[in-house]
């Protein structure tokens, strides 16, 4: 296949025809075409659906026409699992050129693309085509949260992945994001037996905490914190960006079925309780332990085995937490004895310090604090409560306007210090 960079359409055989707004000199001349001009160039090769798509466009920055094999859903564009069937160098919404797949999950695919309007590389998450109104509602929630967190400077101040564009294409919601080099999962894998330097582990931890404190203040739960969803922005400074809000939700509007990745699921989620931002702090503890040890903390054989594995390391949850659990009977009998499908798990028989293989008591205590069975006892909840108490004191004790301003400035300074030193205080 031969690609055009001079503004002219070129073809090689019958398999592909392309046009790009990018000139051979890069940014020297980037000029779009109108849909009518594309129709004049490629009209005989276009399907009725493509002609309708073009009619709704205002500008075309990149076009590629392929004789593609037909899929099984969505007029042949989707596979059995309703994922969009991708071809290298095809276009997405007449602007983005598909280069390669860089990620895949139950909610869609992540693709590296070239943006022919801005001449930059980007990552595009293409969600699966929704099969029900319920699934579409969840997808719209992801889009809403992704946009909700895109305040000016939110990437620098709170380590939120930068969203550059959102569009709908051939039945799929697509999120365009900044392209970053690697995730913490790849950092762990590349480190191998050498393990990561503990100073860098702390740096990554602070970076994730920035995001968690930010979304906590917005009453948003990420619900899938894990090494794969923490991307490295700068390998030297350890700056990170957190991505993938596919399972995220607002605390006041929890979905019926909360997703997430098994190895990082908190006990209250398994037991059927309503969720708070504490599930993210649990996942942070799992992630930091993995950064330090090079392996997943809770390796379980199945969903049914996951809670017993957590209990094997951390001991039994409080009695009230077991007795009041909506999904209690999935894990405990009427006497409160734990079911152990497959491998027998004895509560507390494999304590945390042994799993972590660490002689640093502060590090073990930090992980332990994140993994407390009671969500309200995890650091994020304590930090939020401390902030509320400080605000209440200010409201009650400041009667003069100058004093109010002074107290608010002091409060901000105290909270900044509290945020910056949370890791040091616990670890």
Tokens of 175: 């999120």
| Helix 278-293 × helix 361-370 angle, to 10° | 150
Q: What is the DSSP string of 167-210?
A: EEETTEEEEEEE--SEEHHHHHHHHGGG---HHHHHHHHHHHHH
Give the active site residue among 224, 244, 280, 305: 224
Query: Is 197 noted as a catalytic residue in this protein?
Result: no
Q: What is the DSSP string of 216-271?
A: HHTTEE----SGGGEEEEETTTTEEEE---TT-EEGGG--SS----GGG--HHHHT
How many CB atoms neighbour CB 277 within 10 A? 24
Contacts of 388 (CB under 8 A, 6+ apart): none
Distance between CA atoms of residues 150 and 165, nearest Å: 11
The label of the residue with tokens 């809403």 reads 144
Q: How far apart are CA 204 and CA 285, in angstroms?
A: 12
Tokens representing residue 176 in the block? 């365009």
Q: Return all residues near 89 (Cβ < 8 A) that are at least 6 apart.
A: 1, 3, 16, 18, 64, 97, 98, 99
The answer to whether the beta carbons of residues 77 and 170 sit under 8 Å apart is yes
Yes or no: say if 79 and 85 are a contact pair by the CB < 8 Å rule. yes
- Containing 18, the helix (H) or strand (E) segment is strand 16-20
Q: Tally helices (H) and strands (E) across the chain.
A: 14, 16
| Rounded distance between C-alpha atoms, residue 370 and residue 225, angstroms | 13
Percent helix, strand, coil in the chain (nearest 5)? 45, 20, 35
CB contact at 8 A, 300 and 306:
yes
Say if residue 298 is exposed, middle or buried (CB neighbours under 10 Å; 0-12, 13-18, 19+): buried
Residues carrying an active site annotation: 224
């Amino acid at each position: 296949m031969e690609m055009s960079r001079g503004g002219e359409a070129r073809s090689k055989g019958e398999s592909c025809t392309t046009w790009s707004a990018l000139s051979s000199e890069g940014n020297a001349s980037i000029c779009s075409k109108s849909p009518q001009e594309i129709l004049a160039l490629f009209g005989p090769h276009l399907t009725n659906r493509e002609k309708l798509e073009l009619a709704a466009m205002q500008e075309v920055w990149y076009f590629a026409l392929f004789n593609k094999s037909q899929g099984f859903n969505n007029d042949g564009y989707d596979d059995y699992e309703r994922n969009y069937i991708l071809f290298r160098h095809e276009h997405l919404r007449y602007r983005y050129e598909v280069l390669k797949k860089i990620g895949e999950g139950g909610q869609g695919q992540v693709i590296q693309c070239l943006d022919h309007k801005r001449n930059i590389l980007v990552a595009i998450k293409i969600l699966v085509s929704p099969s029900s109104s319920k699934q579409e509602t969840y997808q719209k929630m992801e889009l809403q949260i992704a946009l909700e967190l895109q305040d000016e400077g939110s990437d620098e101040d709170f380590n939120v992945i930068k969203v550059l564009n959102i569009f709908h294409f051939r039945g799929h919601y697509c999120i365009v994001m900044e392209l970053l080099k690697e995730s913490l999962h790849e950092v762990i894998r590349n480190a191998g037996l050498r393990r990561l330097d503990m100073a860098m582990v702390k740096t990554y931890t602070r970076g994730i905490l920035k995001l968690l404190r930010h979304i906590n203040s917005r009453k948003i739960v990420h619900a899938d914190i894990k090494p794969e969803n923490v991307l490295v922005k700068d390998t030297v400074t350890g700056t990170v960006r957190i991505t993938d809000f596919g399972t995220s939700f607002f605390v006041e509007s929890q979905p019926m079925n909360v997703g997430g990745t098994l190895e990082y699921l908190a006990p209250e989620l398994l037991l059927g309780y309503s969720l708070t931002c504490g599930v993210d702090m649990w996942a942070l503890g799992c992630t930091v332990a993995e950064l330090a040890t090079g392996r997943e903390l809770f390796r379980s054989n199945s969903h049914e085995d996951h809670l017993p594995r957590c209990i094997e390391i951390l001991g039994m949850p409080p009695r009230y937490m077991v007795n009041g659990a909506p999904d209690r009977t999935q894990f405990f009998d009427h006497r409160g004895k734990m079911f152990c499908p497959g491998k027998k798990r004895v509560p507390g028989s494999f304590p945390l310090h042994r799993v972590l293989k660490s002689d640093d008591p502060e590090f073990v205590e930090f992980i332990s604090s994140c993994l407390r069975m009671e969500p309200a006892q995890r650091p994020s909840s304590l930090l939020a409560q401390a902030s509320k108490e400080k605000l209440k004191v200010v409201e009650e004790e400041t009667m003069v306007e100058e004093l109010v301003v002074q107290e608010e400035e002091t409060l901000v300074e105290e909270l900044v210090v509290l945020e910056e030193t949370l890791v040091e205080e616990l670890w």
